[in-house]
Chains A and B, each alone.
Chain A
Amino acid sequence: MSTEHKRRRRHEHRATPALVENSPLRNADPRVKLALSLGLSLAVMLPLAQVATALALYTLLLLWARLLPLAARQVWRLKWLLVVLFAVDWLFVSLELATIVSLRIIMLTGTFTLLVATTTPDELRLAFEWLRFPYRYAFSLSLAFQSLNLLEQEWQAILEAQRARGAWLPPQNWRALWRGLSDLTALTVPAIVLTTRRAWALTEAAYARGFDSPRRQAYRQLQLARLDWLLLGGAILIAGALLAWRTLLTGRLAM
């Protein structure tokens, strides 16, 4: 297999995930999933040994939710960031700090996956609206989430187009890497243009359908089902337990 083919295959594995339709959390209320994610993310406050334990327990939750392979892929995508942070922290501070920072990033990535892989941007907007976010911002946030997939596709299209005209080729040596960095504009200018253009097209489309109307009435309303109540109870328990654990270990609530 050629280098180019390997690069392409790697990229195909990196594609932004779609919704995991077979997850038991897929049909859960978005507010509950938001609470669950926020509750779980409190685990980052714990010291090293406890973060590792929380991470192991969280892995079991992901396994039940059929999200473990996806969460693992998301963490794998961050491997270079993790490697660099680990090396810098270890080199300049300590191995313990390097480990805990890495575990915290992995934990946060996992909690974010739980929410994003089972919730559509429309559902997320409903949750934000219920939380009394102004509609304008809730709507913009949902559009931003929708755009994540498109951003990656556009970035690849730009890379491809620039390579086709020899403007940005994968660097083969340090000199080529330096030259590549110096003409990063070949990638950033089209990326800014496309993003701005898409944002403007969406703005026009929204206003053309009365986005700023003061008469707006929401059609869909969220309702908690039995599973949602259970999960909500679980989220509150988890958050409470994590805060208590932290207080017990350190004698204080704040970080």
Chain B
Amino acid sequence: MRNANSAAILRAEAVAYRYADNGHTLSPVSLEAEAGGCLAVTGVSGCGKSTLARCLTGLIPHLYRGEMAGSVWIENLHTTTTSLWELSERAGMVFQNPAAQMLATTVENEIIFGLENLGLPRPEIAARLEQALTQFGLIALRGRDPRSLSGGEQQRLALASIMSRRPAALVLDEPFSMLDGDGAADLVAALAELTAQGAASVACEHRLEWLETLPGLRTLHLAAPHPPAEIAHVIPPLARKRMPFMLDVRGLSVQRGVHEVLHNLEFHALGGEVIAIVGRNGAGKTTLLRALAGLQRAEGVITVDGGSPNLGMVFQNPDVQLFNASVREEILYRIAAPDRELYAWLLKALGLERYEATPPLLLSEGEKKRLALATVLMRQPRDGILLDEPALGQDDGHKTQLLHLTRALAHAGQLVILTTHDLALAAQADRLLLLAEGHIIAEGTPAAVLGDTEACRRAGMRTPERRAEGAR
């Protein structure tokens, strides 16, 4: 079916979708994306941005069995009646997690995979391969395993793999969520270039600060599926307020093979503090949290007032933690005499009240992260909690909720240590530790650390403003 009435490359008319397995829905959306333009689709977690991205590229309805309404046209081809391989030649998609979309064992083969599927002659594939490697700065990495690249490099490779196929439209699903400052700056530069070359791009993203640096950006806001949960400001009803204490880290080193991930770290943290660990992908942030939680073999000494620390850890990927049949069972798992008051407070503070009987696997990514946090807090770790990238996939409302929660725990005397790429979140901490190549290169208040231009440059902590300044 063809629609010759529109000049737009991508066009959606009242497109809506309902998943067959979990009942999540996308409310009707209409949009148009034109050549040389960039459209940012924003909205809270769970509003359907990823679903819309899949509708715009034809993955829905071809790979999903839910109910779709409305129409999507890619270069005047209707997505329902055109085969998926034909649609993929016209609209490319870059997914949220670049590591999860790598199909080959070398950077070269990753790009070649998509070119082979176009049926191009060998010389043409060779020419496009070289062009893509050059354009996306991958020449030196051509023989590397994609899984060994940094997040930013993987995202560039994902873009190169799609753009070498020369689709008229590009759809990106939360492309910035896993990137550090340098990676995000690289992605914005690549997007600006592609847009200048005439590609139509649609980026589904709730971190707009990077996209806003693109010239001529249009935005479309998707409505929230539920009213935002009420934020609990009160101090959590923990069994008792923690007495003042000090976490002491001395000579902490972690070796992995021949590579030293952390080198001789020294720092202190007091009960009641919120500390953010920042740095580029691979700087050792997660390894440091794992060492503090006692999950990582390490040299050196980690003590709380001379004894072993007792810190609960919330992992970056909640799927590794959740397995029970309902949210309630998940939170109360293996707790002999649960504190009912704390349980009720956690449900309210983390916006999980309406999901008490829901299986955790049916929750959105943001909701699962909050549930994983609840399971750890319910166990009442004595000294506090460690949060690995808690802001990942969370919209501004939920980040605010998270901030209130961490503050509430700190008021109760608990220590909160978190890792994040989100500098807006990091700026709300009491203290920042800036990690680069396994060393703490700066430590202090957020204003002092983020104001240290040289340290931030070393740690890859570019911000949209800095990028704009650099461009000028």
Name A residues whose Cβ lies closer than 8 Å to a Cβ of B. Answer: 4-5, 8-9, 12, 120-122, 143, 146, 154, 157-158, 160-167, 185-190, 193-194, 197-198, 201-220
Task: Evaluate contact between B118 and A210: CB separation under 8 angstroms.
Answer: yes
Which of A120, A157, A167, A209 gathers the greatest number of chain B CB atoms within 10 Å?
A209
Task: Evaluate contact between B116 and A219: CB separation under 8 angstroms.
Answer: yes
CB-nearest residue of chain B to A214: B85
Which of B57, B320, B321, B322 gathers the greatest number of chain A CB atoms within 10 Å?
B320
Task: Evaluate contact between B117 and A210: CB separation under 8 angstroms.
Answer: yes
Task: Evaluate contact between A205 and B118: CB separation under 8 angstroms.
Answer: no
If A121-B105, A164-B293 touch, whether A207 touches B84 (CB-CB below 8 Å) is: yes
Task: Evaluate contact between A164 and B323: CB separation under 8 angstroms.
Answer: no
CB distance from B278 to the nearest CB of A (A): 23
If A186-B323, A205-B101 touch, whether A167 touches B334 (CB-CB below 8 Å) is: yes
Task: Evaluate contact between A205 and B319: CB separation under 8 angstroms.
Answer: no
Task: Evaluate contact between A122 and B117: CB separation under 8 angstroms.
Answer: no
Q: Which of A143, A167, A216 contacts B333 (CB 8 A)?
A: A167
Query: Could you give 18 example pairs across A and B, Cβ below 8 Å?
Result: A8-B297, A154-B320, A157-B317, A186-B323, A187-B323, A190-B319, A194-B320, A202-B103, A206-B103, A208-B92, A209-B88, A209-B114, A209-B117, A210-B89, A213-B117, A217-B120, A219-B116, A219-B122
Q: Which of A9, A12, A121, A218 contacts B116 (CB 8 A)?
A: A218
Task: Evaluate contact between A157 and B315: CB separation under 8 angstroms.
Answer: yes
Task: Evaluate contact between B89 and A219: CB separation under 8 angstroms.
Answer: no
Task: Evaluate contact between B114 and A207: CB separation under 8 angstroms.
Answer: no
Q: Which of A165, A197, A202 contacts B375 (CB 8 A)?
A: A165
Name B residues whose Cβ lies closer than 8 Å to a Cβ of A. Answer: 54, 57, 59, 62-63, 83-85, 88-89, 92-93, 95, 97, 100-106, 109, 112-122, 125-126, 161-162, 165, 290, 293-295, 297, 312-313, 315, 317, 319-323, 333-334, 361, 375-376, 379
Task: Evaluate contact between A217 and B121: CB separation under 8 angstroms.
Answer: yes
Q: Which of B89, B313, B321 contacts A190 (CB 8 A)?
A: B321
Task: Evaluate contact between A213 and B118: CB separation under 8 angstroms.
Answer: yes
Task: Evaluate contact between A208 and B57: CB separation under 8 angstroms.
Answer: yes
The distance in angstroms between the C-alpha atoms of A158 and B315, with both chains bound, is 10
Contacts of A213 in B (CB 8 A): 85, 88-89, 117-119
A-B pairs under 8 A by CB, number: 150
Task: Evaluate contact between B100 and A193: CB separation under 8 angstroms.
Answer: no
The distance in angstroms between the C-alpha atoms of A210 and B315, with both chains bound, is 34
Task: Evaluate contact between A209 and B112: CB separation under 8 angstroms.
Answer: no
The distance in angstroms between the C-alpha atoms of A35 and B233, with both chains bound, is 68
CB-nearest residue of chain A to B316: A157
Contacts of A205 in B (CB 8 A): 95, 100-103
Task: Evaluate contact between A166 and B120: CB separation under 8 angstroms.
Answer: no
- If A189-B322, A193-B361 are given as contacts, then 15 extra A-B residue pairs at C-beta distance below 8 Å, sorted by A number, are A158-B320, A161-B320, A165-B333, A165-B334, A165-B375, A166-B334, A167-B334, A190-B320, A207-B88, A208-B93, A209-B113, A212-B83, A215-B117, A217-B121, A219-B112
CB-nearest residue of chain A to B114: A209
CB-nearest residue of chain B to A18: B145
If A198-B100, A215-B119 touch, whether A146 touches B333 (CB-CB below 8 Å) is: no
If A164-B293, A190-B323 touch, whether A210 touches B114 (CB-CB below 8 Å) is: yes
Task: Evaluate contact between B101 and A165: CB separation under 8 angstroms.
Answer: no
Task: Evaluate contact between B313 and A164: CB separation under 8 angstroms.
Answer: yes
CB distance from A201 to the nearest CB of B (A): 4
Contacts of B116 in A (CB 8 A): 216-219
CB distance from B205 to the nearest CB of A (A): 18
The distance in angstroms between the C-alpha atoms of A134 and B197, with both chains bound, is 38
Task: Evaluate contact between A210 and B85: CB separation under 8 angstroms.
Answer: yes
Task: Evaluate contact between B321 and A161: CB separation under 8 angstroms.
Answer: yes
If A164-B293, A217-B116 touch, whether A197 touches B319 (CB-CB below 8 Å) is: yes
Contacts of B161 in A (CB 8 A): 209
Contacts of A158 in B (CB 8 A): 320
The distance in angstroms between the C-alpha atoms of A37 and B122, with both chains bound, is 32
CB distance from A2 to the nearest CB of B (A): 9
CB distance from A69 to the nearest CB of B (A): 16
Q: Which of B57, B321, B379 contacts A162 (CB 8 A)?
A: B321
Task: Evaluate contact between A163 and B295: CB separation under 8 angstroms.
Answer: yes
Contacts of B294 in A (CB 8 A): 4
Task: Evaluate contact between B63 and A207: CB separation under 8 angstroms.
Answer: yes
If A207-B88, A210-B165 touch, whether A122 touches B323 (CB-CB below 8 Å) is: no
Contacts of B88 in A (CB 8 A): 207-210, 213
The distance in angstroms between the C-alpha atoms of A218 and B297, with both chains bound, is 46
The distance in angstroms between the C-alpha atoms of A244 and B408, with both chains bound, is 78
Contacts of A164 in B (CB 8 A): 293, 295, 312-313, 315, 321, 376
9 nearest A-B residue pairs (beta carbon): A215-B119, A210-B117, A205-B101, A189-B323, A209-B114, A213-B85, A201-B100, A161-B320, A8-B297
CB-nearest residue of chain B to A2: B297
Contacts of A201 in B (CB 8 A): 95, 97, 100-101
CB distance from A58 to the nearest CB of B (A): 27
Task: Evaluate contact between B320 and A157: CB separation under 8 angstroms.
Answer: yes
The distance in angstroms between the C-alpha atoms of A5 and B298, with both chains bound, is 9
